[in-house]
Structure 1
């Protein structure tokens, strides 16, 4: 009896030892896989910065090339922005010359000028009497003696209307309203300089976009070449990792972060270069503006430019790295 009982007890213990010796299949949950994926991303991010500072000369030269390529269109765009701001605050706004009828009474003219000053499209009105107009013409033309012999003043009274906006549509609308006024004889609006300014601004914007596109392409080529060299230097490591079952996504991840770091550092250096250029030019520009009686000051690249340059450069670096690894990583296969 005792022998049978001990035999029955020994059988489950032997089976338990047999199960513990064999292979055990385990399943990983979604949380474990997500944690492992995030952990690998954090590790590659830190490793990319470590590799960047491990070879500061080559990494710094690559980032500096990216920075120069980005700083050129950024500086041009910032210059256009400052130019538009300077023109908007310039005292030489377009003027509309309103020539009045010679028989118009002064009281009616003054009432008409007051009505124009109350118009939201008008920034200011200056009245020039016929006597003032004649005196200015004599001084400017040098025909004072000839004009003095005339029996009457041939010049009419003039209202110099300064529009509140330099927009061509608003100017044409205001000029048309002035032509329809009862006291108006003729209206002269010089739109030539406004149109030239608009065309110059549009040309500068097109040039800035074209330059930015070409230099962004150059940044992509620089990053692609740099990442290709990194891949070739780690070819043996990639072969070993693929032999143990690593996927292409796992292998490409460190190179993508390397391109991201290159672009990010290049964008930060580009912002510093543009800021340095503005600092160097701020003094001479302020002195020139003071000579013309203007309080214009250069606007430097603020936080918006910093975020745009750093983010755009990081995106370019990531795109260039992706183009490099998409071509070269798949070509490296263990035999």
Structure 2
């Protein structure tokens, strides 16, 4: 009887938590702690920089100017392409038809050309329309009225469907159209097309070269700034290493400092390019009005703006990483 009562009052053993559940809890806790430390350092470095606004503004301004130059050239190149109505507009092919070609035959040729896969647009001028346009543009209207018959043939103006940096395609199309028996003469200023594409390529490559050189300059500026910050905190770094601080722990605030420099530099670059385009917009509109045209400079779109900010941040992080990795090894407890 006593044994039965004793067995009834015996405490039950609690079930142990599964190992997988404890691991998940431990992993979540470590991840939360890791993110919390990063957030603390993230705002701590911003607070430290805000205490030295002059130094922050000067460094970020240098980075901003370096980023603004290639970005501004890129935007100017895009506006120049838009202002000219597209670079491929300069590659028109003029087909002067044989004298005596019937209007029905000329329009049949136009219909065939409109279905050509390498032709973008076709415009037809009858002999009467060609004469009227020549009278209007040449200023010899009275002299042309004395002629007994119209000396001008029908003209078909062809706009090729060009691919970038490929004037050879236009030359091949010109040779193909020249073989048509209804065509008496086919004209295209191929040299101008080649020069135009060469100028475009030079400008584009120039933007890439300038961007690479200025990116290197940004890395040097950020690296030198972080180097000075490391030297100013040398005693603090030695103490942290003495109490067991890891290189990753020491490196973290300097990386976030580079992040802030790059971000503010990208913002300043955006402001510089936007203000420059706003200043130039008025004179460009006046120049376009002199040519009976209207044009407004296109600013930075969302894609270019995001790319500019990301480029600044990446350059700031890379410059900080290089500087910290190089100078942190030289600081050891003596």
Q: Does 1:61 align with 2:58?
A: yes
| Match of residue 78, structure 2, among 77, 81, 86 | 81
Q: C-alpha distance in 2, partners of 1:184/1:112?
A: 10
**Partners in 2 of 1:123 and 1:135 — Cα distance?**
20
Shift of 1:31: 3.5
Q: List alignment gaps of at least 5 residues for structure 1.
A: 1-27
Q: Contact 1:178 / 1:187 at 8 angstroms: preserved in 2?
A: yes
Change (3 A) 1:119 1:49: same
For the residues of structure 1 that align with 2:32 and 2:149, how far apart are their CA atoms?
96
Structure 1 stretches of 4+ with a deviation exceeding 6 A read none
Q: Which has the larger radius of gyration?
A: 1
Distance in 1 (alpha carbons) for counterparts of 2:307 and 2:130:
55
Q: CA deviation at 1:180?
A: 3.0
Which moved further from structure 2: 184-193 or 51-60?
184-193
* Alignment coverage as a number of residue pairs: 306
1:249-304 C-alpha deviation (Å, 9 max, x unpaired): 11111111101111111011101111111111112112222322333321101222
Partner of 1:285 in structure 2? Answer: 284
1:162 and 2:158 correspond: yes
Q: Distance in 1 between matches of 2:317 and 2:87?
A: 43
Instruction: Please give the secondary structure, in 2, of the residue aligned with 1:187.
Output: strand
Instruction: Give the equivalent residue in structure 2 for 1:239.
Output: 238
> Residue 42 of structure 1: CA displacement?
0.8
| Change in CA separation of 1:73 and 1:213 when aligned onto 2, cut-off 3 Å | same
Q: Counterparts in 2 of 1:1-335, with a 5 A limit?
A: 29-89=26-86, 93-113=90-110, 115-116=112-113, 121-129=119-127, 136=134, 155=151, 157-167=153-163, 168=167, 171-335=170-334
Q: Is the 8 A contact 2:130 2:154 kept in 1?
A: no
Q: In the aligned structure 1, how far is the partner of 2:180 from the partner of 2:36?
A: 76
Instruction: Rate the CA distance shift 1:134–1:332 in 2: closer, same or farther, 3 A.
Output: closer
SS of aligned partner of 2:223: helix
TM-score normalized with structure 2 length: 0.80
Partners of 1:313 and 1:132 in 2: CA distance: 56
Structure 1 position 62, deviation (Å): 0.4
**In 2, are the aligned partners of 1:266 and 1:313 still within 8 Å (CA)?**
yes
